[in-house]
Amino acid sequence: MQLWDAFAAVFCSWKNARAVTYRRLHNIPIDWVTAVNVQAMVFGNMGDDSATGVAFTRDPATGDYALYGEYLVNAQGEVVVAGIRTPQQMNVAGKLAHRSKLPAMEEVMPEVFQKLNAVRHSLEKHYGDMQDIEFTVQRGKWYMLQTRVGKRTASAALKIEDCVRYGG
């Protein structure tokens, strides 16, 4: 029942005044329709083998080609955004740089860390730019929720551009 209600809400929203005005202002044909994506939920709050986090394919401050980011064990995304708990670093180098006493993902979830590290190489090669990756780990299995071009400092942008262009 909940799924059908969600479908109905999406299709009904297509007909509301705001949506109609938006389509008119942006020259979107009236005969186009909307779509509904259905996907399974994953949960990062199912115990010590679950987590949620954000990673970058490069350090967004320096442009260095190293996995960079933070995660929280046994948490959902809203906990990360709310700042309720202190996040942990992805790798040992980040842990040392931030003088954290909390274990890095590389230490406590090495298989997940290796998967994420492998995927970052593929994403950057495919998109030709640094990526910002949101992910969840549910009972030891890594799920990528989304990726997008990552924000970075101006100096990092110059370094990344050179690396992408000249293969560094």
pLDDT at 96 over 80: yes
pLDDT of the residue at 159 = 78
Q: What angle do CA 91, 78, 76 make, to 5 degrees?
A: 60
Please list, in sequence order, all residues whose beta carbon lies within 8 angstroms of the beta carbon of residue 124, skipping any fewer than 6 positions away. Answer: 57, 58, 130, 131
pLDDT for position 126: 92
Q: For residue 104, what is the DSSP state?
A: P
Whole-structure pTM value: 0.78
Residue among 76, 50, 55, 63 at smallest CA distance from 118: 55
Q: Which long-range contacts (CB under 8 A, 24 or more apart) does 127-131 make?
A: 128/164, 129/160, 129/164, 130/56, 130/57, 130/58, 130/60, 130/63, 130/156, 130/160, 131/56, 131/57
Query: What are phi and psi for residue 80, nearest 5 degrees?
Result: -65, -50
Beta bridge partners of 133: 55, 147
Write out the two tokens for 22.
């938006």
Task: Give phi and psi for 20, each to the nearest 5.
Answer: -60, -45
| Domains, the chain, ordered by start | 1-38 (no CATH), 51-166 (3.30.470.20)
The Cα–Cα gap between 17 and 23 comes to 10
pLDDT, tens digit, 9 for 90 and up, residues 119-129: 999 998 899 88
- What's the pLDDT band for 114 if we cut at 50, 70, 90? very high
| Residue corresponding to tokens 């998967």 | 115
Over pLDDT 90: what percentage of the chain?
57
CA distance 34 to 132: 27
